[in-house]
Structure formats: structure tokens, C-alpha cells
Amino acid sequence: MPEFSVIVPTFDRRDAVLRCLDALERQSLPPDRFEVLIADDGSRDGTREAVEARALTVPFALRVIACEHGGPATARNAAAALARGEWLAFTDSDAAAEPEWLERARARCDAGAEALAGDIAPTVGGSFRALDDRSSPIVSAANLFVRRAAFERLGGFDESYRELRWGIYFREDADLGFRLLESGARIEAAHNAVVRHAPSFSTTASCFAHARRYYLDSLLYRRHPRAYRSLIERKRIGPLTISRPAHYLSLLYTLVLTMLAACLARRAFGAALALAAAAFALQGPVLYRYQRRMWMDLARPARALALTVLPPHYLYWLIRGCLRHRTLGPLL
């Protein structure tokens, strides 16, 4: 029996899945110690056929679990139900595990924890989590290990963290992490078990799609208000630990932008100039997460102009979610 069942959900990412399998084929852990399950979430690009062909050549056991399209949580649960390993190792189809990923996780598996949260790094340089507060493990399904017994005891990922009509899937991994903690399970950080993730915000559309996902923050808040307040998007800036700084900057930025529009309508150009400068200063930290720079990219003027309305776009979807789930918690 394998020790690890690596579960990779995917939807119309055939080439990315094959690169993910390339990385898994380079694992230092012997191939008879793990299996790989590709949870195909209704792909239409030949993903299933490509993975089935690849299964004939890889040294580890590789299976495709075909699912009707229902989002990554549904796909992961379908694969987990058929997994044979003691540990479920979750990653994404557009991520590449470093060669020691499974072996380093295995070194931590006997410490009594029921889950391990690995690190996520970009495929090229930098860090996705440069400012994250690491005093508590950050649970992300892009790099997460859970004992199969604990996963089954909790019922797996909650599949309600989705809105199929808008293609929104978010926070099901945070929900699982909160339920693990609430059940008394111990989650440990495994910083040396690393996967490298493809850039998430390479296009303007992907930035706006990411902001739209915060529609589901209100659902997470309703179910875990205390954990949401204390653990979601905690950042360390010097000696300070701040929860959701991008949220509060977006609120302030949108307020300044509204005041700027009002001043322009009244032709109060002096005040408008001061407000424009304030908006420019506030936008920098908000956009850093999307473009890793504190100023507009003037070499791409269309993108720079579009990103000026990204914080209000984020707030629109957050408020819409709050109305849908009948809570104002994430706004405060």
C-alpha cells in the first residue's frame, strides 16, 4: 500500500497537468511509496486521454478519476474516496512539486500531526508569502497533507464553497483547516516541503477573477467567525501583525476614489488633485499582490488603467457575497 496518495484536481489544463506529472516523476521518494490520482473535473481538452497515455510510462501508480464538472473541492473528494494512501497529498495541476516534496513531508509525518501545510513558491524567483505571518500554518490545497482517517472523519472538503455560474471556487481549503483545528487536530508547517506554482496574475482578467472569488468570504465567516478574524490573510509588517491589510486599503482607496469623483463633479480641482495623489499612494500596496510592484506599469497602459478599478471590483463582490450569506462580518 502506498504511503501517499497525491491528488491533483484539474479542469482544461492538459499541458499543465503533464508538467505537474513531470515534477512528480522526479520525486526522490521511491515510486512504490506513492500513487497519483488526477481528478479530471469535466475537462474538454483531452486531459483524460493524455494522462491515461502517460500512465503507461510513469514509474508510479497513476489513475484518472473522471468527474462531472463541480469545482476543485468536488474533484478532490471524488479522488480521495478512491485513494489508498495513509496520507492525502493535495496540490494543483499548475504547480510543480520540488523533487524532495514527498520525502520531506514524510520526515514530518510521524510527529503526531494530522495535517501538514507545505510552502508555495512561484516558478520564478520571489515569494508568494513574503509578508505572511507564519506563526500559524497557512492551509492551502496547493500544498497540503492530511491523514486520510482525519479527512474522512471530517467529511472532506465542503463542496458548497463554489458558485458554478460565475466560475468561483474559493476558501474550501481554509474551511477544512478550520474544521481540523476545531476538531482538536494539530496542523504543522512543513516549510521545506515546497511546490512551485505558476504565476496566478499574468493577465488582467486573472486579477479580476481572483478579486471576484472574495464573494465566498462571507460563507467562510458565517461558519468560522473567530478563526476568520484571527487567521485569514494575516500579514507581518515590521513588528506589526495585521489581518487583511489589502481589504482595509481597498476600502480606503474606494472611499478616496468616490470623494475624487465628487470633487471633479463640483470642479473642486485643488481637492481633486490631493485626492488623486492619495489614491495613487493607496493603490500601490493593494496592487503589489497582483503585479509585485508598488506603482502602475506604464509600459502596459491598458492593464494599468484597468487595475485602478480593481479594489472597487473586489468590494463589489465581497458586498454581494455578504448580502447573499446575510452577514457583514468580512466587511468590518
pTM: 0.93
Q: Please, what is the end-to-end C-alpha distance for the chain in angstroms?
A: 49
Look at residue 316 in the predicted model and tell me its pLDDT.
98
The dihedrals phi and psi of 193, each to the nearest 5 degrees, come to -95, 100
Look at residue 127 in the predicted model and tell me its pLDDT.
52
Q: Return the amino acid letter for 97.
A: A
Query: pLDDT tens digits, the chain, 332 residues: what are they?
Result: 899 999 999 999 999 999 999 999 999 999 999 999 999 999 999 999 999 999 999 999 999 999 999 999 999 999 999 999 999 999 999 999 999 999 999 999 887 899 999 999 886 555 556 667 777 788 999 999 999 999 999 999 999 999 999 999 999 999 999 999 999 999 999 999 999 988 778 888 999 999 999 999 999 999 999 999 999 998 887 788 888 988 999 999 999 999 999 999 999 999 999 999 999 888 888 777 777 776 666 667 777 788 889 999 999 999 999 999 999 999 99
- Give 226: exposed, middle or buried? Use CB within 10 Å, 0-12, 13-18, 19+: exposed
Write 313-317 long-range contacts (CB < 8 A, 24+). Answer: 313/208, 313/211, 313/212, 314/211, 314/212, 314/214, 314/250, 315/250, 315/251, 315/254, 317/211, 317/212, 317/213, 317/214, 317/215
**Domains of the chain from N-terminus onward:** 4-199 (3.90.550.10), 237-331 (no CATH)
Q: Which one, of 51, 34, 45, lies nearest residue 88 by Cα?
A: 34
